[in-house]
Amino acid sequence: MSKRYRERSLLEFQNEFSTEEACARHLQEIRWPDGFICPRCGHVEAWFIRTRNILDCKSCRAKTSLTAGTIFHKTRTPLLKWYWLIYHMAMDKVGVSISEMQRVLEIRDYKTAWLMAHKVRKAMADRDAGYSLAGLVEMDDSFFGPKGRTRGRGSERKSTVLCAVSLYRNRHGEEKPGFAHMKVVDNASASVIQGFLERLGYGLDTKECKDLLKAIRTDGWRSYGKAIKGANLSHYKVVLRDPKSAGKLLPWVHRVISNAKAVIRGSHRGVSEKHLQSYLSEICYRFNRRFWERELFDRLIKACVADETITYSQLVKNENSIMN
């Protein structure tokens, strides 16, 4: 698959993907950038069976599915509707509403549209799973869930979320956010934070030089200190005399958290704890690519093509498969 991404404006997208055939042709191009080769005999010519999205080798007659190994596998929804959904999910900064997508794209029913969106979110999460955070990382934990419930007793319905944002200095010496990562966790204990740091790319056990993470900045909550004990990481603690000043002292991580809360409350009208991680992954995916606006569709469609699909029953029964 080509590593270079194509830029498209809305008009260009609209012109390029106006028919089912155009989408199928495009899908074929991303799967076989150097042209189709029959996996059985190596022949390069094939008929395209439009009704089934199948390539039929002109030499050995082996049938190759255009959608196998992608999130579109076995879909009964036209590729055109998938492409438009992916376009919206890539571009809409506040996240799309599923019922709205179902209506405007004329998708069969809500459940179908919901499943499609989750498949796209899984591709986003899997793409970001390979990202490491480097340099100085701002970290904090927050609670997501119904309003009016607080920490401690009665917090059963609130979910703890760990959030990290890597920072860099631009050429004017100003601190800027790089990449963000958020994870739903059971609690903010030292061992859980350790696991989170490992996910960010820091090998606390191995202490290998490959580690890009150099320092963390937190509110000084004791679990952070414990989590990095003995590790080759600097720890900057900002002192919170007033909890309301957290936004000033840990500005980036707070911005990401409050943006995520606004998106979840707004576009998605709140989400169940079970699916919170996949929405957070979507928000981070988009945040991490905010500088590549015109490439967003190309990046996401390629992530979707490279990603194995997930079924409805896997999604509702085995949450771990999309949470990791």
Q: Name the residue among 12, 17, 37 with its Cα closest to residue 27.
A: 17
Q: Which stretch binds Zn ion (CB under 5 A): 59-67, 120-128, 184-192, 198-206?
A: 59-67
Please report where in the chains the tokens 């920072």 appear, as a residue.
167
Distance CA 254, CA 164 (A): 10
Selected range binding Zn ion among 42-50, 108-116, 228-236, 307-315, rule: CB under 5 A: 42-50
Give the side-chain half-sphere CA count within 13 A for 18: 6
State the minimum distance, in angstroms, from the CB of residue 47 to Zn ion: 11
Give the β-pairing of 135-144 and 234-237: unpaired
Residue 265 touching Zn ion (CB under 5 A): no
Q: Which span (55-63, 89-97, 199-207, 261-269) binds Zn ion, by CB under 5 A?
A: 55-63
**Cβ atoms of 260 and 184 closer than 8 Å:** no
Does position 58 interact with Zn ion (CB under 5 A)? The reply is: no
Residue 44 near Zn ion by CB under 5 A: no
Residue 239 DSSP label: -
Q: Which is nearer to Zn ion, 42 or 154 (CB)?
A: 42
Closer Cβ to Zn ion, 57 or 322, answer by number? 57
Shortest distance, CB of residue 68 to Zn ion, whole angstroms?
Answer: 15
Q: How far is CA 233 from the centre of its chain?
A: 27
CB of 46 to Zn ion, least distance (A): 8
Listed in sequence order, the DSSP H helices in 36-134 are: 79-91, 98-104, 110-128
Residue nearer to Zn ion on the CB measure, 56 or 92: 56
The single-letter code of the amino acid at 290 is R
Q: Does 43 bind Zn ion (CB under 5 A)?
A: yes
Give the nearer residue to Zn ion in terms of CB position, either 56 or 295.
56
Closest to Zn ion by CB, 43 vs 149, is: 43
How many residues lie near Zn ion (CB under 5 A)?
Answer: 8
CB of 299 closer than 8 Å to CB of 5: yes
Out of 10, 41, 49, 94, the residue judged to bind Zn ion by CB under 5 A = 41
- DSSP conformation class of 261: H
* 6 is a site residue for Zn ion (CB under 5 A): no
What pairs with residue 205 in β-bridges? none
Q: Considering the complex, what minimum distance in angstroms separates the CB of residue 63 from Zn ion? A: 9
Q: Is 62 in the site for Zn ion (CB under 5 A)?
A: yes
10 binds Zn ion (CB under 5 A): no
Cβ-based neighbour number of residue 200 at 10 Å: 23
CB-based burial label for 259 (10 Å; 0-12, 13-18, 19+): middle
Does the protein bind Zn ion through residue 60 (CB under 5 A)?
Answer: yes
Q: What are phi and psi of 220, to 5 degrees?
A: 85, 5
Q: Which positions from 170 through 229 interact with Zn ion, judged by CB under 5 A?
A: none
Residue ranges binding Zn ion (CB under 5 A): 38, 40-41, 43, 57, 59-60, 62
